[in-house]
Amino acid sequence: MVTPFGFRTGDIGSICVVSTIKKTVYRISDVGLALLILPIALPAFVVLWLAIRLGSPGPVILRLACIGQDGRVFQGYRFRSVYVDARARVFRADCAGETSLTDLRVTRVGAFMLRTGLNRLPQLLNILRGDMSFRDRALQPLAGIATAAALQAQDAAACLHPLRG
């Protein structure tokens, strides 16, 4: 069935279909919004980059293998919020009998970024590259997903419309 504006809809019980026009409108709005936010967020990028670099050794940006629509794998970006040797810190704390293990893994800058959500600023690059959309669910690391088929079934059941497949 085609609506008056040219958008196609699926029949009852079938997977939701999004027209090319709607995908194009979503993509244009994503790029436009990301380009508006980027100059405003650039000073925060620089300050966080320096704070992470000076706060602890290791990479500033984490590259996560993430899964997108139709099981497509892409590199998701986030600011690093934990120490590079986080697992060793947890092991040492566990052996010493300390109770607050999560506090040992997260850096001071990382704790601030996690509270405010600033660790997700690099996802603007994923949006500009077309890997994600502002309408997508949160970045899904590949290690945290059971199967791509389960994710696709979840998308179809919820009638979600990620940007590309």
More confident residue, 127 or 141: 127
Rounded mean pLDDT of 24-34?
A: 91
Residue with tokens 């979840």: 154
Q: Identify the residue with better confidence: 102 or 85.
A: 85
- Name the band, by pLDDT with cuts 50, 70 and 90, for residue 134: confident
- Of the two residues 43 and 85, the one the predictor is more confident about is 43
Closest CA to 59 of 5, 107, 26, 112: 107
3-class DSSP state for residue 6? coil
Residue 33: its H or E element: helix 20-55
pTM of the entire predicted model: 0.65
pLDDT of residue 62: 87
pLDDT at 87 over 60: yes
- 119 pLDDT more than 80: yes
In this prediction, residues 90-104 reach a mean pLDDT of 55
Kindly report the backbone phi and psi dihedral angles of residue 75, in degrees, each rounded to the nearest multiple of 5, phi listed first.
-90, 115
Residue of higher predicted confidence among 90 and 130:
130
E strand or H helix that includes residue 111: helix 108-116
- For residue 14, how many C-alpha atoms fall within 13 Å in the half-sphere facing its CB? 9
130: left (phi over 0), alpha (psi -120 to 50) or beta: left
Q: Domain boundaries in the chain?
A: 44-157
pLDDT at 56: 87
Q: Give the Cα separation of 102 and 160 in Å (integer).
A: 33
- What is the 3-state composition of the chain as percent helix, strand, coil, each rounded to the nearest 5? 55, 10, 35
The mean of the pLDDT values for the chain is: 74
108: enclosing H helix or E strand: helix 108-116
